[in-house]
Structure 1
Amino acid sequence: MAFHSHALFSLLTLVFLIPTLTVTHAQLSENYYEQTCPKFHETVHHVVVEKQIATPTTAAAVLRLFFHDCVLEGCDASLLIASNSFNKAERDAEINAAIPGDGFDIITRIKTALELQCPGIVSCSDILAAAARNLINMVGGPHYTLLFGRKDGLVSRADRTEGHYAKASMTVSELINLFASINLSVQDLVALSGAHTIGFSHCSEFANRIFKFSPTSEIDPALNRIYAEGLRKLCANHTTNPGMSAFNDVMTPGKFDNLYFQNLQRGLGLLATDHALGTDPRTKPFVDLYATNQAKFFEDFAQAIQRVSLMNVKTGKQGEVRRRCDAFNDLKT
C-alpha cells in the first residue's frame, strides 16, 4: 500500500475531528480566508480543474503528497521545501523522491495565483489541503469539510523520514502496528488504503510478485494469472527503465471509487500489501464491506482524511506563511 504507489502508500495520520477540537484546532475555521482572501476557494478550484484536465495523474500525485506531508512534522507543507547546499529536505528522501512532479507543480500554480490576489495571506499547507480535497472530489470521491488557518512549518529534513511511512514490503502486522503507534485503527488503515483506487506504482514495487516469485513459481499464485502476465509484459524492462509503472486499479484507474476493494477479491491487487489486506482476517472484513458498499467507504475515507488534515497543524507563531512554497522565508533550513 504505498501512497506512492505512486498514488498514495502512506496513509498515516490522525486525531478526531470537530467534536474534539484541541486549542490549536480551535484556531482554525472553515471560513478562515473569507475576509482576508475572499477568492481563495474560487482560485483553488479554477487551477485544480485546469491542471487535472490537462494532466489526469495530478489527483493521485497531490493526494500522495498530502499524506506524506502530514505524516512527518504534521500538515505544514514541509514536504514542499526544496533541498539546498546546507540541507537535504524531506522531498529528497528516498521514500519521497518518486512523488510525481505534478503534485508540486499545481501547488506552485495555486500559490502564485493567490499571491497576486492577497500576498502573504494563504499558507502553502492550507493550499495543499484544499487542493487534495478538491481533486479527490473532482475524480469522483467524497466531498468533505476542511478547516483552514494552518501555518507553514520551519523544518524539513530528509534524515527525519525513516520509520514514518508505510512501505510495500511491510506485513499487515507491521502496518497495523505503525498505524496504532499514531492512534489509527485497523479500519482507518483499510479505508485510507482505498486511496489506491487512483494512481500508480512503479514496477520495482511489485516486481517480486511477477518475476521469480519463488523457486517453484515465477508468479505469485495469489495474482490473477492473466493480470500477472500483462504486468510481466508491461514491466519487462523495468530494471533498465525504473520509471515503468502500472495503475493501482486496473479497472477504473482515473476514478475514485470502490473498485480497488473489488479488485482485491479477484486477485487484482497490485502490491503485496494490497493483496494481504484482502486476506488477513483482521483487515478482510473491512475490504469486503467497502467492496459491496461504496457509500460506507466514502464515509469512512472522508472522516479519516479530515483527521489527517488536522494532524499536528501549526498556528500562530508555530509557523509562517511562506512567500513561496519551496523555501522558508528566511531561507534557512
Structure 2
Amino acid sequence: MTVELTRERVVAINAAAWEYWRWNANQAEDWTRGYLARRGLRGLQAGYAPEGWARLVGRMRGRGYGADELVAAGLAFRTEGGGVGDVFRDRLVLPYRDETGGIIGFTARRNPATDDVADAPAKYLNTTSTLAFDKSRDLYGIDPAAGRRIQAGARVVFVEGALDVEAIRRTGSPVVPLSGCGTALTATHLERVRQIHPGAAALAVFAFDADGAGQAAAVRAWDLLTDDEAGTAGALVLPAGTDPAQLIQDCHVQALAERLAQPQSLVSVVVDVVLARHDLTTVEGRVNALRAAAALVARIPDVPLSRVGTQLHARLAPHTDLGVIAGELAIAAAAARGTT
C-alpha cells in the first residue's frame, strides 16, 4: 500500500520517534551513555533505538502513526510476508535537523559489542530518502544555531561522520562542522551551504586522512569547487587512521583546536597529491609532476598560483629552477583561460 505524506508529517513522525529514543537512552539496557563517555563525548544528547523486532513500530502505532506512514518516513520496513519491523535496532541515534530545528532524518551507530562479529550489520545506518531527507543533499550539523553562524561568516568544516562533528564542537573552535555521515561530498552538499551563505564554500575547510583515500577525497572536493573557491578553501589533514572523534577520545582537544585554527590550503594538499604520483628522483618524473600540477591548479587566481610556485620549488629544488616553474604555471594558466 502506498501512503501519501507531507514533509511536515514526516518531521512530526521523526520528532515522535526521537522522543521515544531519548527516553530509551535513560533505561537500564542503554549502552550509549557509556560508549559516548569513552569517546570523550560525555553528555551528548543521543537517542537509543533498543533491540527488538518492532519496539518503535509498536510505540508509534499506539500514538496514532500508521505502519505505512512509518515505512514512508524511513523508520520501518515491510517484509514479504507483510510484517513491519524497526529500521533502527540496538543503535545509538543522532538526528539530522534543518535550519528551523525540525528533525528530518537520523544517523545511527550499531552496538560496538558487535564490531568484531563477522555478520554484524552496517556500522552506521542513515535514514533512506524521504520527503524530508536526502543524504546527497542534507548535512549532519545544520541546525538553527549553525545556520546563523554560517550566515555570519563562520567557516564550515566538512568531516566524515556525526561523531566527528560532535568532537569538533567540543573544541570550542569558531567553526561549523558538518558531515554527510559517510556519504561522499556532493555538489548538492556544497550548494546547500551556499544557499545559507554565498561565500560558505570559499571559506570551507575539508578534513581528510593522510592516506590514499584521503588524498582521493581531497581531489574530489577540489573538483567540486568553483575556480575562486578552489583558491581559498582550506584543508585539515589528519594522521592516517585517525579522525576528529579519535583525537578527542585520545584527549588531544588542544591539538585538534590548533589544526582547526590554522588549516592548510586545499591547493597545497592537491599539489602534494599530484607530486606523490610521480618519481621526483628522475628528470622525467619531475617534469611530468610539474606539468601535471600546473595543469591542475591553472584555474585558480593568480595570488594562490604564486604560492603554488613556492611550494613546487621547495619540493623540486635544487633540480628545477623557480623561473621554469613559474613559466610552466603561466603556460598552464593561459591554456586554461584560452589565451596564449
Scaled to the shorter chain, the TM-score interval is: under 0.3
Higher strand share: 2
Q: Higher RCO, 1 or 2 (CA under 8 Å, sep at least 6)?
A: 1
**TM-score with structure 1 length normalisation?**
0.25
**TM-score with structure 2 length normalisation?**
0.25
Structure of greater Rg? 2
